[in-house]
Amino acid sequence: ARSTNTFNYAIYHTLDEIYEFMDMLVAENPQLVSKLQIGNTYEGRPIYVLKFSTGGNKRPAIWIDTGIHSREWVTQASGTWFAKKITEDYGQDPKITAILSNMDIFLEIVTNPDGFAFTHSTNRLWRKTRSRTAGSSCIGVDPNRNWDAAFGMPGASGNPCTETYRGKYANSETEVKSIVDFVKDHGNIKGFISIHSYSQLLLYPYGYTNTPNPDQQELDQLAKEAVTALSSLHGTKYTYGSIYTTIYQASGNTIDWTYSQGIKYSYTFELRDTGRYGFLLPASQIIPTAQETWLALVTIMDHVKNHPY
């Protein structure tokens, strides 16, 4: 593609193609979009975040990431679509315009670049990072069990050969540590949305305990509104609730950590697919998935803007 207008959002792309897309988007929208490098992966690839900002310094911000589990290709594809959508809607759509007039949006389209490249070259169903564990022949850590939130408690594995291996210690994965450092350094992130795929859920903390979080009532109500907006487009059925009560116990996960950092509006999505395709959702479903998810994202972002804390 020669521009983000001719980029094909309805197919799956490699890491290089997505990185080229980011550069095009920045070049086409220099007043709105910039690209930040927040770190490097275990294998040395750059980790990029797109920043959408209309000015100001460390404004309240919303973080969105896609693809921390590399095989969940519809998330990276949706993230690419979201990036374009933000640039299209700014100045056109009142809600997005108002959000960007008050806040910044950070979007990390490929949160696990090593794993993503591995899914394109070697093992399509790879989920983890590609880091090595001393003393084990098994490779990789589940980056959604590696955060410093009840790290090592039930709901993650200490066995490097399992899919939910938590790693040796919290933040052992550079892909996780890079986000941790960025979020702490920024200090003004008010909403954090981590996007996964498979099983159609919208979840909030906690994952490590079935104790309700202190903001449960508000987060639950907002989740309900977001899911209602999402379902209004194609009728996709979503379930919502806390990670622990809705899906299963998961310690060391992303949004438990962000919530513990004081980011009240911490959510994680599981996008389309009730299981028929697993992580091989047909490319024809990318755009419908992104479109419906966008409605939920706007609902959450709009609420974050309207409820400063």
Q: The sheet that has 33-40: what strands, in order across it?
A: 33-40, 46-52, 104-108, 61-66, 189-197, 265-271, 201-204, 239-242
Q: Could you say which of 4, 29, 76, 164 contacts another protein (CB under 8 A)?
A: 164
Question: Dihedrals φ, ψ of 38, to 5°?
Answer: -100, 0
Radius of gyration for the chain, computed over Cα atoms and rounded to the nearest angstrom: 18
Q: Could you say which of 7, 12, 48, 240 contacts another protein (CB under 8 A)?
A: 12
**Is residue 158 near another protein by the rule CB under 8 A?**
no
CB of 178 to another protein, least distance (A): 26
Question: Using CB under 8 A as the criterion, what x/- string covers residues 122-151 for binding another protein?
Answer: xxxx-x------------------------
Range in contact with another protein (rule: CB under 8 A) among 38-46, 77-85, 117-125, 293-301: 117-125
Instruction: For CA atoms 119, 122, 128, 131, give the dihedral sign.
Output: negative
- State how far the alpha carbon of 44 is from the alpha carbons of 61, 174, 259, in Å: 28, 10, 29
Strands 61-66 and 104-108: what pairing?
parallel
Q: Could you say which of 30, 44, 276, 308 contacts another protein (CB under 8 A)?
A: 276
Instruction: Measure the N-to-C terminal CA separation of the chain; round to a whole number of Å.
Output: 42
Judge whether 270 counts as a catalytic residue: yes
E strands of the chain, at which residues?
33-40, 46-52, 61-66, 104-108, 189-197, 201-204, 239-242, 265-271
**Is residue 206 near another protein by the rule CB under 8 A?**
no
CB of 160 to another protein, least distance (A): 10
**Is residue 188 near another protein by the rule CB under 8 A?**
no
Q: Could you say which of 153, 247, 287, 295 contacts another protein (CB under 8 A)?
A: 247
**Is residue 277 near another protein by the rule CB under 8 A?**
yes
Task: List interacting residues with another protein (CB under 8 A).
Answer: 8, 11-12, 121-125, 127, 159, 161-164, 198-199, 247-249, 275-280, 282-283
User: What residues act catalytically?
Assistant: 270
